[in-house]
Amino acid sequence: MPYHPVRKKIIRRAPAVANPHLDDQPPLLQRIYAARQVRSASELDRSLSQLPAPQRLSGMDTMTALLAKAIRQDRSLLVIGDYDADGATASAVAVRGLRALGLRRVSFLVPNRFEYGYGLTPDIVALAARQSPDILLTVDNGISSLDGVAAAKALGMQVLVTDHHLPGVTIPMADAIVNPNLPDDEFPSQALAGVGVMFYVLMALRQRLREGGHFGPGQTAEPNLGQLLDLVALGTVADVVPLDHVNRILVHQGMQRIRAGQAQPGLLAILESAGRKPHQVTATDLGFFIGPRLNAAGRIDDMSLGIECLLTDNPDTAREMATELNEMNRERRGIEDQMKQEALASLTHLDDIAAPATSALSLFREDWHPGVVGLVASRVKDRFHRPVIAFAPADPQQPELPEIKGSGRSIPGIHLRDVLADIATRYPGLIDKYGGHAMAAGLSLDRERLESFGRAFEEAVECHAANLDLEHAVHTDGPLDHADLAIATAELLQDAGPWGQGFPEPLFDGQFKVTGSRIVGDKHLKLMLKPAGSTLPIDAIAFGLDNPGEWLGCQEIRAAFRLDVNEFRDNRTLQLRIEYMESDFSG
């Protein structure tokens, strides 16, 4: 009776060779860090001084020269954002940062995904032109906007591109481009999110302005750009980019500001609406509670509300906006739950035999919401451990139109954007547009080509998975000694992060006797467990079970779990957060 119809296999990460450079760490952390390929103590240094210099990003000199000139000449600049959390935080960081550095006339425009789609399109350029900006600055988009950049240039606007997505064969003819994924870029991290790239541009611009005598008595006060790191942390975690050393520094520093109560009023208001306490915030809170509420604006309506929430300095206004975002998130959850059930109902034929023989899944319904298909793809991917793309009509107001849009999620080892690139090369004209990352990507095509795409998608994934074990597995850090099942260990691990994509939060496994269980809410199961060979009872909780009632009579489980700190009425206790469990683990 496991969580999923396709049973998982618990695999313990191979013990790593002891690293003498980590001898100052507790033994448990030495083991965990070694399993995550940490090679030196310097990789655990999360101070800002460890960030690589902004000038190592190619194109930075040209970018900052043009922005410094814009400040001197009092030119007007329009930020063109994206409708996800990374795009929203990058937009807010750009507006706040450029204003602080002395650019007076700066505002933002974010495409409505249902009217304009993604990126700097010619239609968005035409809309932007109504404001007569001198400069367009893209954040979290632009590297694939060949036609949009050309349209803006034809209208006499400068175009500055900041992005982190993989470029295509042709690079847009922008006036400046900063993107760590450009060919031959020597920046040591290709994992920066869009908001991280924009933050780096601001740091480099501040240095150029400082060297040019821009700051001083009677002039612009030199800003502390660290005040933007809460937004950088949020966007980085929400975009699920790998938490390499650079991103761990950015996220850690941002969370330190949030915990100290120094975050932007909008972020604090969203935390409050989600019932999360700033002084205890973790990367999990940013990714699973704050990011979705911000994303809900772009999925259901217009991301402008989310960006405005992050830009306001008025706490009361921020609370009003956060409340509205919370309501949008409730609506999004309702739509997502219905779509998820419809998707799973269409896949009931995938039993324990059929599912392993299926390399990839593509799904479509006429009545699905295009802003939520990515979440459905993620849920189905988690269920079947296969790359999934879910499609919906591109325009929910006109579902009869031929264009459909898909959003996909992948599994480790299969680069989804590369899969789409292979399909586009092998079958010209099958896909209209595509883009994205290793783990998430989007595309559009004519619905008449959906069946052909589904076959091509499976074929391409099979090629990419030729040497990959697709068995549904949970990778753990092994068992924990009874002495480590304590709140002190949970607090130690919380402080040892931040954890996330590419630097996974420690996950352990063990066998437990179940001495009590009850359903909490609709889909959560509260448990009282005793580890094998121990009489010590421990609280545990399993979130989001499809049928929690099926577990109420269970007397013994094997579980993969994380250590959590549960705080109730100022009392902090240990709680196991169960990520996977099974009651039949014989043999």
The per-residue pLDDT for range 340-372, each reduced to its tens digit, is 999 988 887 765 545 566 889 999 999 999 999
The set of residues, in sequence order, having a beta carbon less than 8 Å from that of 333 and lying 6+ positions away, is none
| pLDDT score for 7 | 62
Q: Which of 137-146, 296-305, 514-523, 529-538 has the highest mean pLDDT?
A: 137-146
Mean pLDDT estimate for the chain: 92
For the segment 120-139, the average pLDDT, to the nearest whole number, is: 97
Longest Cα–Cα distance of the chain, Å, equals: 77
| pLDDT score for 435 | 85
User: For the whole model, what pTM was predicted?
Assistant: 0.91
The residue length of the chain stands at: 587
State which amino acid sits at residue 287.
G
- List C-alpha distances in Å: 54 to 43, 141, 336: 19, 19, 40
Confidence of residue 491 (pLDDT cuts 50, 70, 90): very high
Q: Three-class SS of residue 243?
A: coil
Over 70: is that where the pLDDT of 213 sits?
yes
- How is residue 480 written in tokens? 């924990």
Over 80: is that where the pLDDT of 152 sits?
yes
* Lowest pLDDT segment from 73-77, 161-165, 166-170, 309-313: 166-170
425-456: pLDDT as tens digits: 999 999 998 888 888 899 999 999 999 999 99
| Spatial separation of the C-alpha atoms in residues 475 and 486, rounded to whole Å | 22
| pLDDT score for 178 | 98
- How is residue 284 written in tokens? 């999990």
| pLDDT score for 92 | 98
Residue percentage of the chain with pLDDT more than 90: 76
List the beta bridge partners of residue 406.
Answer: 391, 443
For the segment 191-206, the average pLDDT, to the nearest whole number, is: 98
Other CB atoms closer than 10 Å to residue 27's CB: what's the count?
Answer: 12
Over 50: is that where the pLDDT of 118 sits?
yes
Higher confidence at residue 237 or residue 482?
237
Over 50: is that where the pLDDT of 18 sits?
yes
State which amino acid sits at residue 501.
Q
Please measure the distance between the N-terminal and C-terminal CA atoms of the chain and give it in whole angstroms: 15
Q: Which of 260-269, 381-390, 407-416, 463-472 has the highest mean pLDDT?
A: 260-269
Domains of the chain plus CATH, in order, are: 9-41+474-582 (2.40.50.460), 51-328 (3.90.1640.30), 346-464 (3.10.310.30)
* Lowest pLDDT segment from 282-286, 469-473, 512-516, 538-542: 469-473
58-104: pLDDT as tens digits: 999 999 999 999 999 999 999 999 989 999 999 999 999 999 999 99
Report CA torsion sign: 179, 183, 184, 187.
Answer: positive
